[in-house]
Amino acid sequence: MTLDWTDQTREDRIRVMMVSPTNINDVYGELDGVDLSGSSLDAAYYTDTRTSGKLKVVGEGWRRGSFLRVIHEVPAWGYSRELGTYIVTNDNASWEHGVWHYDLTLQSMLYGLSTDKLVRPWTIAKNAMALKAMRDCMDAARYKYTIVSGANDYKMKTPQVMESGTSRLECLYSLCTMANDRLDVDGHGLVTVSKYVNPASKVPVATLDLQSPRGTTYGELTRETDWLSMVDTVGVSFKYSDTVTKKGKSTTVQKEINAYAKVSASLHQAHAQRGYTVTDFRSLSELTPQTAQRAQQLANQYLKEDSPELIEWGISTTYLPIWEGDVVDLIVPGSGQYAGRNRCLVKSVKVDLEHMTMDLTLKNTSSGDRGDG
């Protein structure tokens, strides 16, 4: 059965289940008294813990300490999806009209790994494998996880020491960086490790067309771009001391190797187009070999890294089954430079659980995958 998410007559239902904090497969039962007004879920691609939320509850239905699993259903379709399984990190309450009202703060399973810190150094031996170390780390934290088929592995070239006081989440991110994997968490609460895939290589899962008569978007479309502050010139400098010998006498002199690179004059951030220069100047602490050719290579490399234009969009839609890390096609109206099909990473999502609407931040995949993007 093909699901038509443009069907605005569908009836959505949100259910919240209470889950054992020591076994996420053990469900205590459904939480009564959920007040969806003011309840929401957030997810963001570049945040360490990926997803969080808040939930309002009226009455004493919550089994204190239990995890909460938020499930979206469309009964007429027989559709059900676990949006997230969360640790409750705050249960502030107020007494109103003869009943307690709770404002529950929800955090992902990754948050629990961020608060679990090593009480002694952890040494990972030379030639040990990164995926095995990740499993050991999560087993020690008594976490359920899945290593997705195809995840990269990495053999340690030297012993690795995770210092005492380092969180298990930091350990996992360090290991994932070595192996070029991505750490995340799924709706059931499983920590996931999968092969990193650049968003530009992902297949879009949805199309958002502002002018479609059956479109799901509403409100305004906003755009942010950094082209007016983009770098058009990169300069590098390496200063060093050298010994010069003249007539048998040695003296120390200061020398400097410089190089620079500039973008093509046809690009819109070039001085010829914009009328001013923005320089990324880098003082190098080392240069190997100490040659002008190597300095020029670095200047060219840094300019390439600086060149992608950061383009982000803000848009609101009715609920769609998309999440942080997915890729969508955004059809932008008009005839300007950004009009037409923009392939975008879903950078962040905010789901209003009462109205089942979503506020999306989308980032063009052509902008690269800088974590601060």
| 8 vs 57, residue with greater confidence | 57
CATH of domain 112-195: 3.55.50.10
Please write down the HEC assignment for all residues of the chain: CCCCCCCCCCCCEEEEEEEECCEEEEEEEECCCEEEEEEEEEEECCCCCCEEEEEEEECCCCCCCCEEEEEEEEHHHCEEEEEEEEEEEEEEEEEECCEEEEEEEEECHHHHHHCCECCCCEEECCCCEHHHHHHHHHHHCCCCEEECCCCCCCECCCCEEECCCCEHHHHHHHHHHHHCEEEEECCCCCEEEEECCCHHHCCCCEEEECCCCCCCEEEEEEEEECHHHCCCEEEEEEEEEEEEEECCEEEEEEEEEEEEEECCCCCCCCHHHHCCCCEEEEECCCCCCCCHHHHHHHHHHHHHHHCCCCEEEEEEEECCCCCCCCEEEEEECCCCCCCEEEEEEEEEEEEECCCCEEEEEEEEHHHCCCCCC
How confident is the model at residue 216, as a pLDDT? Answer: 86
Query: Mean pLDDT throughout 332-340?
Result: 89
Mean pLDDT computed over every residue of the chain: 94
Residue 205, pLDDT above cutoff 90: yes
Residue pLDDT, tens place only, 9-44: 899 999 999 999 999 999 999 999 999 998 999 999
Domain extent listing, the chain: 13-109, 112-195, 199-227+309-367, 228-306
8: confidence class by pLDDT, cuts 50, 70, 90: confident
pLDDT-derived band at 2 (thresholds 50, 70, 90) equals confident
Architecture of domain 199-227+309-367: Beta Barrel (2.40)
- Once rounded to an integer, what is the mean pLDDT over residues 154-173? 97
Confidence of residue 249 (pLDDT cuts 50, 70, 90): confident
Task: Provide the pLDDT confidence category of residue 215 given band limits of 50, 70 and 90.
Answer: confident
pTM (global) more than 0.75: yes
The pLDDT of residue 247 is above 80: no
pLDDT for 93-114, tens place per residue? 999 999 999 999 999 999 999 9
Average pLDDT over residues 352-356: 96
| pLDDT at residue 54, rounded to an integer | 98
Give me the CATH code for the 13-109 domain, please: 2.40.10
Q: How much is the pLDDT for 373?
A: 45
> Which pLDDT band holds residue 372 (cuts at 50, 70, 90)?
low
